[in-house]
Structure 1
Amino acid sequence: MTRLSRSVVGDILVLSALSLIGVLGYETSFGDLNFLLAAFGGLAVGTLAAVAGSLWRLGVLTTVLLGLAGYFLLGTPFTMPGAGTFVVLPSLESIVGLAFGAVFGWADIVTIGTPVEAPYYVAAVPYFAAWVVSLVGTMLVTRWLVRRRTALRSSVLLIGPILLYVSGILLGTDEAYFAGVRGVTFAVLALVWIAWRRGATVEASGEGAQRLRKQKLAGTAIVVAGAIAVGTLAGAALAPVTPDRFVLREEIVPPFDPLEFPSPLAGFRKYTKTLAETPLFEVTGLEPGDTIRLATMDSYTGRLWNVAGPDDVGAEGGGYAIVGESLPEPLLASLGSRREVEVEVAGYDDVWIPMAGYGSSLQLLDDETAAREGDLRYNPAAGTAVLTSGLGDGARYRLDARIQEEPELEELIDVPVASLTLPVVANSPDVVAAKADEFVGDAASPIEQLRNIERALKTGGFLSHGLASDAVPSRAGHGADRIIELFTRSQMVGDEEQYASAMALMARHLGYPARVVMGFAPEVPAEGGSVEVTGGDITAWVEVPFEGVGWISFRPTPDQVDVPQEQTPKPKSEPQPQVRQPPRAEEIEDDLLTTVEIDETEDDRDEAFAVPGWVWVVVGVVGIPLAIVFLPILAVALMKRRRRRMRLKGANDRRAAAAWEELIDRYAELGFEPPERGTRLQSARMLERQAAEQGLDHSGANGSPGEQPTEPVRLASLAATIDRDVFGGTEVSDEVVTARWTEADAATAAVYAAAGRIRRAISRYRIRSRR
């Protein structure tokens, strides 16, 4: 074993410090410095493995294998202690996570919303990155740099820490983490170290060498200090105020596409009709007046409102990204009181997760749902979450959220609507624009215009869910035809689906970025506690963003359900003058009646041909099973008959060969396994061997099972005979063809008779045609 010199130890410490400065860039992805534990672990494991390989004089390959063993055996407490055995010992789950993190973690980290906390193996990314750089760098220091300490070789060793620095930028966000401080520190440390390495190669001795090295170090320090000063001043003067950083997560579209799932609003009537009394989930932690947000829809096609897809969502739309337990905050919101909500799912079954307010953390509690945490996605702008694998009965989760504050009308008079880019509304009916201009009236400010529309719909319409108990029918849907019907009827009749859709379209006509939100509005008792949410609590409303305030809700659905009936006035009767009627003529009663002959023959005929009901029952009970059993047999028998008839056509030598083909097919249908390729003699010997192994003999009588066997029919001799007929060069007569078919049928009948009833029955359902 050899010792490490002081210069080698210094080189290792410098590379470790540079790597640590580079890996600090991961802070913008993980949101805090907890990932540093994984980075420290990776640096320590990689460095110790390389040092051990140098001290024990191990080969390069052996040292790499030692490093891999350390990576898997020591990585659990640094990356995923919760998955380890007794926290520090590796388990199968943690070993798999370390492998998955090293391979797939790089792709996951740029598609997961920050702060990154899921999947569980994502902490392996900084651990693996630091481990690779430290292992390779330390091996180069102890095996390559010691041979010749030059500035060029020292510069090569900087590649690893530089790659770590760049990866922290690419995998992070557009908000840098102390970019100036880290960049200057990295550059100073690297330049001074290279200068030191360059000074160490001076060919001098004694006091002259020391003096020359000090002068070079001092000169390097002065140059570095000047560069820092000039760079700082130039950067402050010339750098843009909001630099546009290139990060991979801005270039990669999250894989979740909401358009793969049906529009939530399209299933609105399912809740009001089918699930009105069905308990969907139980919620604790709500306060009176709170609503539960299910889905936010900002795209309209003329047929329905839907969640915008990844290709249509604007910069402010957020999009759905994979998240961990912590949820990102919305860019536009005024968040007020906090809610700690716990939900237990009962009859609800969908991908959209019921949310309250804007979540700050979401923890999946039950084991089955928590195992699928990688399927969780969240849109902070919409305040809605999705579990792509779906919520099911028994799912439980805990949500920490804050509620959007909604100022009064007077406070929003002078506040403009926020300028956001939402998907363009397509195929909006013309009547929507006309009604919007009518309802707005003389209002000038955006909040007054929107409140006027809300008031006009709420007071001028009537509520109906289209139930049998409703006074007036109400058709489901919110396409252009349904919105036209809402405004063109003598009375506006509909439910939240139609009124929220109509108001959102009106707001879009006015140029305001409105969206439709679907959720639940349960009655929460004043004392709080647990609330059971049913399908009858479903609702929908409209939200419009205001600058610096957030999304303000509007609820245009009327409360009144008694729709006035349209009454048609009865015509007034005008009095007529009385006129004397002539005297009634006395006629014989019989003369006033016309004899009509009723033909009852058709009724008698119908009764004669009427089939009693019990006959149909018997036919159904007996006939259907018989048809299931015998119809396939009949179909297969017809196909076999057609196959045999086709083989009996053609030249005589071909018909003789077809007798062997028929035999092979019949054997295969009985369960034997003739070779796919081979001569007739090879097939015959294989079939005879299989028959012997199965205890079946080849004796046959006259081609029908049940008769006493006469002379054994050997397949090998039959195959040789048919070969002579086909390849002998002589003309084959009709008698010979008949004899070959008779022998083949006899052999088939013999094995059928010995096979047993079950195999014979199964063979009737099989058909095998050798081509």
Structure 2
Amino acid sequence: MSEPITPAKTRIGGRAIVDVVVLTILSTIGILGFATAYQDEGWILAGLGGLFVGTAAAIGAYFLRLGAITTMLLAIIAFFLFGSAFAAPGVALFGFLPTLQSLASLSIGTIFGWADVLTLRAPVSLPEYVTAVPYVATWFVGVVSATLAVRWLPVRRRTAWRAGLLLLGPLALYIVGVLFGTEEPFFAALRGITFAALALVWLGWRHTVTSKVGAQGNRLLLRNKIVGTSVLVVASIVVGIFGGALLAPAPDNRFVLREEVQPPFEPLNYPSPLAAYRKYTKTLEETTLFTVEGLKPGQKLRLATLDTYDGIIWGVAGSEVASDGSGAFSLVGRNFPRAPLATIDGASELTITVDDYEDYWIPDIGYISNLEFAGSEAKAAAEALRYNPATGTAVLTSGLSEGDSYSLTARLQRDYETDELLDVPVAGLALPPVSNIPDVLTAKAKELAGDATTPIEQLRAIETALQTTGYLSHGAADDAVNSRAGHGADRMVDLITREPFIGDEEQYASAFALMARSFNYPARVVMGFDPKIETSGGEVKVLGAHVTAWAEVAFEGVGWVPFYPTPDDTDIPQDQNPKPQSEPQPQVRQPPRTEKDPNDLVAGVEIDDSEKEDDWFLQIPGWVWVVLVSLLIPALLVFVPLLLVMLIKSRREKQRRNAASGDVAAAGAWDELVDRFSELGYVIPANRTRKGVATDLVTQVGEAGAPLPLIARRTDELVFGGETIEPERSVDIWTEAMGAVEAARATVTKGRRLLARYRVSTARAWFASLVARAAAESERLPRRGKRRA
């Protein structure tokens, strides 16, 4: 056994240097798993930089003879001092000097960046602080691995299991790289084979032969090691290639965390724009909302797509209702996903400048493939952008305001003629539910569909009936007949039962979509703007009067087909058969009608102009984050393993208690007792009967172990008695076994009880057998002199 490190012995041995180099290479292989998660190369600089900073801090603390706490403080200082250059050069002074913004990025990325990497659509490019994730991961592994390599391992007996503990850090990086990556792995076979081969070779060479042999014996041992290493490397390559080809899952079945995590954006926190439809047609009728360049004749701007109805309003479904519906918004960075159901026919490019428009919903067209904001706030806007590929809808969580400008490129859905869809069924989509559809609306849908049999014929019949028998009225003062705002169930009943139909796009699109839903067809409502231009290329001023709405129905293999049920005729006929004036009327006080004041019908959208809550963490000083991280990391090291061990033990006990038969449950009670005693630090003899194990434990435990022989005898009777064991008897033996465990626990020290919480008996037995085999192997070799320090 070598001597501990003293202040005079600060030189790092050659073997420790090799250990550090090997661990660094393995960590680099592990961090390469992040390659598919990031877009540019900044992540590799951050990952390698974190590994360098952490390793250098650990080695520097060794030379400075610092203790554990001061070593961690030095590492944290180095983390923030050099982190700006490696992980946040875009906001650092001259690209490498720390600034308040770069320190904030490091702190925010360390805590929140993990969630953002998972919720951003890969490959990730924004926000700036997401590159702090590989930086902090490799920094932490570098600190721990290098500290163990230069301080802990050289002063202890060199065994395979001790050296194997140093592999946990690089292995954790490898697993994290896989979980935070995408379904498309980054050279998975090559990385896996290289990692495994290098780790096994290092473990083999790391084991020191503690014997003194002659020169010829040394040459023989060296030759055997070289031959064994060559065989191991070749075997690793062969097994890795063929085993990987047979056992590796297909990319679609690859488990990655980003596929299991729901995006954090919740659309239910934002008002449905359709509720403010009459605000555009009245209050903002002549107001320029935004200016569009590149719009072509016949094209409509999409503002929001709504696919859930509760009897009051059409809205977007939250992520807990539908993971792929109108509420499934996600961070996209610079990469917009393709629409899951669309037939693309051409593309369009628009430039939109916001005038008198303030809302979260972004006007667009088709299905966006690229969107870039202009101006000094472009990066902040890109970080606040969320997109739904299923609906082609985008929102800006920070809100659009006057002066904002953006350019977009969009793929356009192909237009289909009715004849082309006669034999096409509707798509089998599970849209969010609609509720409180009035019965009269369902009956009217069947009436208007008539004798049509195919989905497209039924829908066209309803569309034509609404267009030709209804009239258009926005409820303005100059309209011939007033019409109420809204699209709740009562307004839908009023629209359908009134002759003729009177309403605007809000009511007709809502009624059509509900009628389509009554046939179980996947239908949704779209709100947007239709400037009705005649020429392409120029600037178009979009006014509030240009607001419109239509319905869409999904067809299998085709995409979402639009329907425009709103009539164009505004010349509403007056009632030709007025009631006689002499007809007596009851003297009943009538409630005031809302139609008397059309302006009261406007449903406004309230936008919170207060300071955004998302920016609160930017106001927290950097030193606070340093303190939080300093406390969080030790807490994670203490409590995360404890939680994992608790879950393993709980699952183990539950499986044993709930065995299929009573005799197996009784045997499980004894096995659980033995495992608990092992975790308390008692030695469990191998290859002994229950009676023999109980006798041996009594000699170790003392008086508290007196019940063990009786429990062993009763367990044998239940297991080997040959009779059916009632559940009550197995419960009794479990109660006795756990009582014996608690009695033994009370006799040990607090330190042993605490250590037992981190132990799992199977792992302890495995390590014990590994140590025994290593000791037996070393005894067979000629002994060498005392090892060097």
- Normalising by structure 2, we get a TM-score of 0.66
**1:479-628 mapped onto 2 (5 Å cutoff):** 479-524=488-533, 526-568=535-577
Partners of 2:318 and 2:327 within 8 A in 1 = no
Residue 139 of structure 2 aligns to which amino acid in structure 1?
A: W
Partners of 1:316 and 1:420 within 8 A in 2 = no
- Structure 1 residue 111: deviation in Å? 3.5
Residue 233 of structure 2 aligns to which amino acid in structure 1?
A: A
Partners of 1:195 and 1:220 within 8 A in 2 = no
1:37 corresponds to 2:45 = yes
Q: Secondary structure at the match of 1:553?
A: strand
Partners of 1:346 and 1:394 within 8 A in 2 = yes
- Structure 1 residue 253: deviation in Å? 3.9
**1:102-501 mapped onto 2 (5 Å cutoff):** 102-147=110-155, 149-174=158-183, 176-198=185-207, 204=213, 205-221=217-233, 223-225=235-237, 227-228=239-240, 231-232=243-244, 234-235=246-247, 242-243=252-253, 245=255, 247=257, 249-315=258-324, 319-367=328-376, 370-371=379-380, 374-501=383-510
Which residue is 2:771 aligned to? Answer: none
% identity of equivalent residues:
51
Which residue is 2:32 aligned to? Answer: 24
Determine the C-alpha separation between the residues in 2 that align with 1:548 and 1:31: 32
Which residue is 2:662 aligned to? Answer: none
The 1:125/1:336 distance shift into structure 2, 3 A limit, reads farther
- Structure 1 residue 371: deviation in Å? 4.0
The 1:39/1:550 distance shift into structure 2, 3 A limit, reads farther
Determine the C-alpha separation between the residues in 1 that align with 2:525 and 2:191: 45
1:248-270 CA distance string (max 9 Å, x none) = x4554434332223221111111
Determine the C-alpha separation between the residues in 2 that align with 1:444 and 1:7: 81
Determine the C-alpha separation between the residues in 2 that align with 1:235 and 1:558: 61
Aligned length: 568
- Structure 1 residue 213: deviation in Å? 0.9
Q: Secondary structure at the match of 1:332?
A: coil
Determine the C-alpha separation between the residues in 2 that align with 1:505 and 1:344: 35
Partners of 1:292 and 1:520 within 8 A in 2 = yes
1:141-195 CA distance string (max 9 Å, x none) = 2333344544223211111122112223333445544544443443333223323
Determine the C-alpha separation between the residues in 1 that align with 2:515 and 2:82: 62
The 1:223/1:95 distance shift into structure 2, 3 A limit, reads same
Partners of 2:158 and 2:208 within 8 A in 1 = no
Residue 283 of structure 1 aligns to which amino acid in structure 2?
A: V
Determine the C-alpha separation between the residues in 1 that align with 2:65 and 2:224: 35
Residue 109 of structure 1 aligns to which amino acid in structure 2?
A: V
Relative contact order, higher structure (CA 8 A, sep 6+): 2
Determine the C-alpha separation between the residues in 1 that align with 2:424 and 2:32: 41
The 1:92/1:416 distance shift into structure 2, 3 A limit, reads same
Using the TM superposition, name which of 403-412 and 513-522 deviates more: 403-412
Q: Secondary structure at the match of 1:351?
A: strand
**What's the Cα RMSD here?**
3.1
Determine the C-alpha separation between the residues in 1 that align with 2:40 and 2:304: 30
- Structure 1 residue 360: deviation in Å? 2.8
Determine the C-alpha separation between the residues in 2 that align with 1:525 and 1:342: 18
1:410-434 CA distance string (max 9 Å, x none) = 4434433222211111111122222
Q: Secondary structure at the match of 2:207?
A: helix
- Structure 1 residue 305: deviation in Å? 0.6
1:724-771 CA distance string (max 9 Å, x none) = xxxxxxxxxxxxxxxxxxxxxxxxxxxxxxxxxxxxxxxxxxxxxxxx
Gaps of 5+ in 2: 1-8, 581-789
The 1:318/1:155 distance shift into structure 2, 3 A limit, reads farther
- Structure 1 residue 469: deviation in Å? 1.6
Q: Secondary structure at the match of 2:554?
A: strand
Determine the C-alpha separation between the residues in 1 that align with 2:376 and 2:251: 47
Partners of 2:530 and 2:547 within 8 A in 1 = yes
The 1:328/1:10 distance shift into structure 2, 3 A limit, reads farther
**1:631-670 mapped onto 2 (5 Å cutoff):** none
Determine the C-alpha separation between the residues in 1 that align with 2:195 and 2:275: 56
Gaps of 5+ in 1: 572-771
- Structure 1 residue 57: deviation in Å? 6.0
Partners of 1:149 and 1:201 within 8 A in 2 = no
Residue 21 of structure 1 aligns to which amino acid in structure 2?
A: I
The 1:161/1:563 distance shift into structure 2, 3 A limit, reads same
**1:53-132 mapped onto 2 (5 Å cutoff):** 53-54=61-62, 63-132=71-140
Q: Secondary structure at the match of 2:359?
A: coil
Q: Secondary structure at the match of 1:82?
A: helix
Partners of 2:305 and 2:326 within 8 A in 1 = no
Over alpha carbons, which structure has the higher Rg? 1
The 1:278/1:315 distance shift into structure 2, 3 A limit, reads closer
Determine the C-alpha separation between the residues in 2 that align with 1:126 and 1:525: 53
Which residue is 2:594 aligned to? Answer: none
- Structure 1 residue 554: deviation in Å? 1.8
Q: Secondary structure at the match of 2:253?
A: coil
Partners of 2:331 and 2:387 within 8 A in 1 = yes
Determine the C-alpha separation between the residues in 2 that align with 1:566 and 1:459: 18
1:522-563 CA distance string (max 9 Å, x none) = 234524132211111111111222333332222221222222
Partners of 2:189 and 2:240 within 8 A in 1 = no
The 1:527/1:252 distance shift into structure 2, 3 A limit, reads closer
